[in-house]
Amino acid sequence: MLSSENFPSASSEQSQDLEAKLQAILQADFKGSLHVMLASYQRTLADNQQHELWPLVHDKLQTLFMCGKAVPLDGPMIGIPVAIRDSDYFSNAAKLFGKDRSLLASIEVMATAWNATFADTGLWMGKTFEPVSEAVVRNKCDDDPDLMTAYDPDTSRIGRNFFRAPPESDALQSIALPVLEQAWKLKDRPLSTDAEVFDAELLTANLEKEKAIPYSKTGGIYLAAMGASVVPEMQGKQVYQLNYRWPKLNPVFPMTLLVDELVQIGEGIYLGQLVYATKHYSLGAIDLPFIPGEKDIELGEPYQPSKHSIFESIRTMLTGHRKPHAPDYGYQNNGYFLMMDPVYAKQVYADDAFPQLRPCPGEIGFKELGYEPSPAVTTTERRESNWLNGWRDDEILKQKFTTMITEPSTQSSDGDVREMLGEHESVLQMLQRISADISAQSKHEDHLKHFEQLHRLFRSGVAPKINNGLFQGSGKNGYNVRLDGREAHDWHGEAEVTQGFDYYHGATLNLHWGFSETFCPDRDSSILGATLMPSVLANALSAEALRGPNVMNMVWHNIGKYIFPWAGKSFEKISPRKLSMLLDESADLSERYPQRVGELKHHLASAPHYSLVKTNQKNYWGRPGRYAAHLGNSWDQGMSDEDKAFWRQEAAERWLMGYNLQDKRVVAADALMRIADMNYRVPEPVLQQASEASGSPFVRQGYCFLGVADQESILPMNNSAEVSKRVFQFHYRFPMIGGPVPIGFCLDELVEIADGLFLGQLIYSTALDEPFHSAIDPSEYKYQLFGYFLLLDDDWERHRQAIKLDTLD
DSSP per-residue codes, 224-291: EEEEE--SGGGTT-EEEEEE---GGG---TTGGGEEEEEEEEETTEEEEEEEE-SSS-EEEEEEETTE
pLDDT at 381 over 60: no
Given pLDDT bands bounded at 50, 70 and 90, which one contains residue 649?
Answer: very high
| Residue 411 main-chain phi, psi, to 5 deg | -125, 115
Q: CA-to-CA distance for 670 and 664, rounded, in angstroms?
A: 10
pLDDT at 554 over 80: yes
Given pLDDT bands bounded at 50, 70 and 90, which one contains residue 201?
Answer: confident
Q: Is pTM, for the whole model, over 0.75?
A: no
Given pLDDT bands bounded at 50, 70 and 90, which one contains residue 531?
Answer: very low
Average pLDDT of the residues in 600-628: 90
Considering only the C-alpha atoms of the chain, give the largest distance between any 2 of them, rounded to a whole number of Å: 110
Q: Which residues of 479-507 are buried (b: 16+ CB within 10 A; e: fewer)?
A: bbbebebbbeeeeeeeebebbbbbbbbbb
Asked whether 727 and 708 are in contact (CB, 8 A), the reply is: no
Q: CA-to-CA distance for 242 and 225, rounded, in angstroms?
A: 7
Least confident interval from 116-130, 327-341, 361-375, 525-539:
525-539
Residue 536: what pLDDT? 41
Q: Give which of 373, 365, 374 is closest to 346, Cα–Cα.
A: 365
pLDDT at 361 over 60: yes
Give the CA distances from residue 58 to residues 100, 199, 388, 750, in Å, rounded to whole numbers and listed in that order: 12, 36, 51, 45
User: For the residues of 286-344, what is the DSSP string, one character each?
Assistant: EEETTEEEEEEEEEE----TT---HHHHHHHHHHT-SSPPPP----EEEEEEEEE-GGG
Contacts of residue 786, defined as CB under 8 A and 6 or more positions apart, other chains included, come to 511, 512, 513, 514, 552, 762, 763, 764
Task: Give the number of residues written for the chain.
Answer: 809
Contacts of residue 178, defined as CB under 8 A and 6 or more positions apart, other chains included, come to none
Residue 711: what pLDDT? 96
Asked whether 105 and 86 are in contact (CB, 8 A), the reply is: yes
pLDDT at 533 over 60: no
Residue 3: what pLDDT? 94
Summary count for the chain: helices (H), strands (E): 29, 23
pLDDT at 449 over 70: yes
* pLDDT tens figures, 706-718: 999 999 999 999 9
pLDDT at 753 over 80: yes
Average pLDDT of the residues in 140-146: 92
- If one compares 185 and 557, the residue with the highest pLDDT of the two is 185
175: left (phi over 0), alpha (psi -120 to 50) or beta: alpha
Q: CA-to-CA distance for 649 and 633, rounded, in angstroms?
A: 18
Given pLDDT bands bounded at 50, 70 and 90, which one contains residue 300?
Answer: confident
Host H or E run for residue 535: helix 535-540
Given pLDDT bands bounded at 50, 70 and 90, which one contains residue 113?
Answer: confident
Instruction: Give the three-class secondary structure for 767.
Output: coil
Q: CA-to-CA distance for 777 and 794, rounded, in angstroms?
A: 38
Average pLDDT of the residues in 384-391: 76
Host H or E run for residue 157: strand 157-163
| Residue 180 main-chain phi, psi, to 5 deg | -60, -40
Round the average pLDDT of the chain to a whole number and report it: 86
Q: Identity (one letter) of the amino acid at 639?
A: M
In three-state form (DSSP H/G/I as H, E/B as E, the rest C), the secondary structure along 37-64 is HHHHHHHHHCCHHHHHHHHHHHHHHHHH
Work out the angle between the directed axes of helices 794-803 and 395-402 (0-180°, nearest 10). 80
Residue 261: what pLDDT? 97
Give the CA distances from residue 430 to residues 136, 412, 419, 475, 753, in Å, rounded to whole numbers and listed in that order: 71, 22, 11, 19, 12
Strand partners, 470: 467
pLDDT at 488 over 50: yes
* pLDDT tens figures, 674-708: 888 899 998 988 888 888 878 889 999 999 999 99
| Residue 307 main-chain phi, psi, to 5 deg | -110, 130
Residue 232: what pLDDT? 93
Average pLDDT of the residues in 437-461: 91
Contacts of residue 446, defined as CB under 8 A and 6 or more positions apart, other chains included, come to 512, 513, 516, 547, 548, 549, 550, 551, 552, 553
Least confident interval from 8-22, 377-391, 462-476, 729-743:
377-391
Q: CA-to-CA distance for 157 and 200, rounded, in angstroms?
A: 9
CA dihedral in degrees (663, 665, 670, 675; nearest 10)?
Answer: -80
> Cα 536 to the chain's mean position, in Å?
56
Query: CA-based angle 216:222:224, to the nearest 5?
Result: 120
Residue 705: what pLDDT? 96
Given pLDDT bands bounded at 50, 70 and 90, which one contains residue 537?
Answer: very low
| Residue 11 main-chain phi, psi, to 5 deg | -155, 165
pLDDT at 639 over 80: yes
Ranked by mean pLDDT, which of 389-403, 431-445, 488-502, 647-661 comes out on top? 647-661
Q: Where are the alpha helices (DSSP H) in 603-696?
A: 607-617, 641-653, 670-676, 685-688
| Residue 335 main-chain phi, psi, to 5 deg | 130, -175
Q: CA-to-CA distance for 483 and 500, rounded, in angstroms?
A: 5
Asked whether 580 and 589 are in contact (CB, 8 A), the reply is: no
Q: CA-to-CA distance for 288 and 562, rounded, in angstroms?
A: 49
Long-range CB pairs of 172-176 (<8 Å, 24+ gap) are 172/117, 172/668, 173/117, 173/118, 173/121, 173/123, 173/667, 176/118, 176/123
Q: Give which of 444, 664, 404 is closest to 549, Cα–Cα.
A: 444
Least confident interval from 192-206, 328-342, 411-425, 466-480:
192-206
Q: Using the 8-state DSSP alphabet, how is residue 593 labeled?
A: -
Long-range CB pairs of 87-94 (<8 Å, 24+ gap) are 87/276, 87/278, 87/332, 87/334, 88/332, 89/278, 91/332
Given pLDDT bands bounded at 50, 70 and 90, which one contains residue 530?
Answer: very low
Q: What's the number of CA atoms in the CB half-sphere (13 Å) around residue 202?
A: 16
Q: Give which of 586, 643, 644 is closest to 619, Cα–Cα.
A: 586
pLDDT at 808 over 70: yes
Least confident interval from 244-248, 296-300, 348-352, 365-369:
296-300
Q: How many CB atoms are located within 10 Å of the residue 640 CB?
A: 11
Residue 532: what pLDDT? 37
